[in-house]
Structure 1
Amino acid sequence: MSPPGVSGKLLRRVRRACRPSLDEPNIALNLEICDLINQKQGNLPREAAVAVVRLVNSRDPQIAELALTLLDYLVKNCGYPIHLQISRKEFLNELVKRFPERPPAAYTRIQRLILGEIAEWVQTICRTSRYKEDLGYIRDMYRLLRSKGYDFPAVKSEDAAVLNPSDNLKSVEELREEERVAQSAKLQELIRRGRPQDLKKANEMMKIMSGFKEDDELEQTKKKVESELEKVGRKADLLNEMLDNATNAGKIDSEDDTLYDLISAVRVARPKLQKIISEESGDDDAVAKLLALNDKLNAVLKKSDLLTGGHAADAAQVKVPGSSDAVGDLIDFDDDDDSAPADSGSALGGSTINPQNSVAFDLLGSGDTSSSGAKQPSVDPLADLLGDLGDLSIGTPSTNVTTGSSTIAGVVSPMSSESPAPVSDSVALGVSGRSSFTAIRKPTPFSESSNLKITFTVNSKLGSNVDITFHFSNLSITKSITNMQFSLAVTKRFQLLLQPASGSDLKPGVTDGLTQVAHITQRENQQFDSLKLKFKCSYKLDGVGTVDSGMVSASV
């Protein structure tokens, strides 16, 4: 007999979903069970997990298979409360209860399905969940079964995509609601265990949930939303560039999956952004930035709709806020233009070109520059197109901006904590016209402002290829540098690949604390002795947005 109330309703539906008379899973009933758990929460996630895992061990294979299907629906639709339950030792031991000590010669269908479920959890939620540290027992069970000789099937990409987090924009309130659900699930589990250490943790969690104790997660959530908003802005900028190319061609390439993915991502983000604007109604500065981003999304989507409808001329008239209007003059940044006056600033084995009169300087932001090549921003540096485009360059972070008869290869790469370790100080410089190498250890000045010093080292140069490592130092002895992003562009004769940097923060007085590697290739496979490099390094100095930028004539 089922218990009364919601628990009874849940258990009755679980038994109905797994009754042996069903020839195939009842999808509607499975989703109904998921909805009931999501709506009521409380102890229902645990009761559902316990009931389902018992049915998985049924001697009737039809019941067991239906129960595993229901379990898959619960994991993919009920979020962290169910993830926490399937990560308990008791649940996992019950799940593999009928597995022999050594693998059989041939697995049963139920055993294959269970191994597939565990492999899917390990490769998705155990790696990508915000609460992956709570799911350690799943990884332990996976390793234990492998050590005993069990083989796991390959995980289908479409199944993994459901469990992996999407990049859809979420508001602070939506993320906070997810956190509240997770905290409530943790609290339920801690109280159920009842051990002294668990009750102590439960007491701390109740203080946070009731507002008596500051929740450190709030600031992290706000930073996460800010980061996601920046990504949306970068996607809109990249989409605008691709739409400009499509406008020149007169139509959208129907086979360009990347373009359509960007359109879809921006379209999905727009209503979410409007919800975030309503939540930030008390912060005028934040609202102003959000409204500017909203105008950009509206303009980009209007341009895409016009192009899709075959109105290329009308699309060309749409102005996207925040986009550079000087893109058509990028031909000025050419290998043959050496007429710009030299500056007294540092250079890559040469002199720094004053970019003040160069229209192409708009690629990296325009404005007054100091003699050191540092520029104080007139706008938020994090909102600049080129300065933040790197997140969209996955795998091959090179992008070509085509303007008439001239092409500039521009590559941007954000500072990343997952980048390779810095290269050794002992590097090699190729001698022009030969294949011999001369060792070089001392970095050469590249740019220096009152806050930030950039030097470089040539790792190697052979024929039409050169590898350069940039080194970043914080010259301030009192202020920290954070959120650093280094952008670089080369002229049309070259191709540039900028690797992720070794980090994004520099403590006061740190010398050569960060590094970033650039690979440059002459497109026609010819040897070269000099380069023109346009750079911008945006960062926050004790929270204040700052930009150092310039154009450098380099001898390599």
Structure 2
Amino acid sequence: MDFLLGNPFSSPVGQRIEKATDGSLQSEDWALNMEICDIINETEEGPKDAFRAVKKRIVGNKNFHEVMLALTVLETCVKNCGHRFHVLVASQDFVEGVLVRTILPKNNPPTIVHDKVLTLIQSWADAFRSSPDLTGVVAVYEDLRRKGLEFPMTDLDMLSPIHTPQRTVFNSETQSGQNSVGTDTSHRGDSNQQTTPLHTSALLPSDTPITPTPEQIGKLRSELEMVSGNVRVMSEMLTELVPTQTEPADLELLQELNRTCRSMQQRVLELIPRIANEQLTEELLIVNDNLNNVFLRHERFERLRTGQTTKAPSEAEAAPDLIDMGPDPVATGNLSSQLAEMNLGSSSVRAGLQSLEASGRLEDEFDMFALTRGSSLADQRKEVKYEAPQATDGLAGALDARQQSTGAVSRGACPEEG
């Protein structure tokens, strides 16, 4: 019946999927992958069109490099898109008729494709087990296990959660990492849809060093790219929005991006001392610095938005106390001292950020951590001057589209990000 609907690659998202899975690509185009996620989340036909395009690229394709790229796009979309897309991907027809069929012995798939398919099935089955309308993949997974099929061992992969479309407030009970902020506007109010982390505590003790394999290194780098995608989107919003004229929907999305990025930073900081790979550690440190910089810009935005940039005479007299480098219950105290020349206030970021448990302790830890780098965080702040870092065209385009919409948008890291 698909042939009656025309070429799957003719739709806007289909065209991008065709480019993102082209066999001439040497590696994944993460900016394009995140743009695909944005289109899926922000358009009515996005999920169906993307599903058809991915299916078209996989079915019967003997170019396994293209198949692998399609599987990566599929994985990225599942992590960053919403329930409308999950329903299609988690169906038994797709998992069994497309994914499993791709790795049948008669097709002679390479090991990397074989393991990738099984890893996706296993992770989705675990993540969607509690959702009644997403259990098709669970049935296939259990059937394969009963037949004696061995699934790949998962370790670093298990550190990545499957992200569902709704906005999850990270509190003391939900502190798991999240790849990206979803932007599925049709399911924003559904509170029973939450990020479903894959379980890691039973597999990897918190102090166990990790020596990643080349495949795991690639996986971790893809996750870091998703974190960077969220940072880029948040930076674009901070550049485009006027603090005193921000629409409620934009403000809500910005606050959710901030919460999500802070949760991501927790995962980054957990990995830094455990990864036994110097180059990866350096990449994690760079991502951590970028997160810190965008947090500083957000704090300044909040101060301007809430009108705390001008101090009364009595408050100005108390300034010497505010730059005390000793213990301070307000996590942004150090920030105000370093940015005193900009007449920023010293009160904490608005109550939205206080939903993160022990955020003050984390902020202090992050500042101390950043000071161990080649240049201090203070130096980095002077260099940044609160200008938006370069963002990809895809993310910028998606953000422009979002800002032109009158409806509330909820976003994610890859990513969307995005």
Same fold (TM over 0.5): no
Normalized per residue, which structure has more helix? 2
Normalized per residue, which structure has more strand? 1
Indicate the TM-score class for this superposition, using the shorter chain for normalisation: 0.3 to 0.5
Q: Rg bigger for which structure?
A: 1
TM-score if structure 1 supplies the norm length?
A: 0.31
TM-score if structure 2 supplies the norm length?
A: 0.39
